[in-house]
Amino acid sequence: MANNKEHKDENRRDFLKKGLALGAVALIGGKLNSNINKEEEQSKEKIKVLTQDGELIEIDKPEKSCSTCAPAKGDEARKGIPGRKFTMVIDLSKCSNARKCIEACQHGHDLLPHQEFMTVSLIKDNKYSEPYWFPKSCYHCDNPPCVKVCPVGATFKRTDGIVLVDADACVGCKFCISACPYSARIFNWEDRESYQDNSDDYSPETSLPAQVGTVSKCDFCADRSREGKLPYCAESCPMGAIYFGDINEDTITNGEETLRFKKTIADRGAYQEMKHLGTEPNVYYLPPVNKSYPYERGLEDLSEEKKEMYLKSIKS
């Protein structure tokens, strides 16, 4: 058992490194070779990157820090990362409600325990079907109703597909909350000491620090994409249920497994939540067929109150 655990830990470390490498190529893209200077070529540490032809290769790890990796602020935060179109694919057959995605997101975004950018629901489609766990974040729609109704332009859509909220501009009218058909937004009712800290460092890409009286939501961890990292939720999922990637690169990864985006959604019958609304979500779901775990496993470590809430939600 100990050997198995060690092997699993090693695999975990490997896929985190691989995920980082894939993110790095997303930033570097086709200009990879021309951007490596002589000093970097002398580095002995290697990293793996995926070429635009789909080949996994090793290159010397750059030693210099990335000058464009810092979270963008002001008008720069509204432009997006050039050449990118981010997407998320969630494999419902793998989710076991471990809730690590929620915890990592809350930690990374300084959220309170009751504030969830990522939620997990228990779904039962009909009285004959087996329940399954359903993670949900902001869908970063290509036709976002939230952006259309914002009277001050605080919510905006970027060229890389990410929808963000600028808390400095938000007036707290909540029109966007009402307009979102996915209930993906929260309102910051409570003032907190952490909201007063480092206000000069605020970036819509990090959503930090938040501000009382404004709206917040999942930001697809845009700041981490700049650094070549997976979002907190994808990186922390122990089941590898959450894939993140770039539609332009036709690549998604959970850090351990790297897949072609178009082939995956075609072969696995992927769907978008409430697509008929015309919102064009950028989050895709792989149906919960041949599930890796029984849904009861996701109830084991919950409080009696939360367990009852979930079970009540699937009573027909």
**pLDDT tens, residue by residue, 98-107:** 999 999 999 9
pLDDT at res. 64: 54
Residues of the chain with pLDDT under 70: 1-56, 60-67, 197-199, 316
pLDDT at res. 199: 66
pLDDT digits (tens, 9 = 90+) for 251-264: 999 999 999 999 99
- Residue carrying structure tokens 């001050």: 152
Closest of 133, 115, 116 to residue 124, by C-alpha? 133
pLDDT digits (tens, 9 = 90+) for 262-282: 999 999 999 999 999 999 999
pLDDT at res. 14: 42
pLDDT at res. 279: 98
pTM of structure: 0.81
pLDDT at res. 18: 44
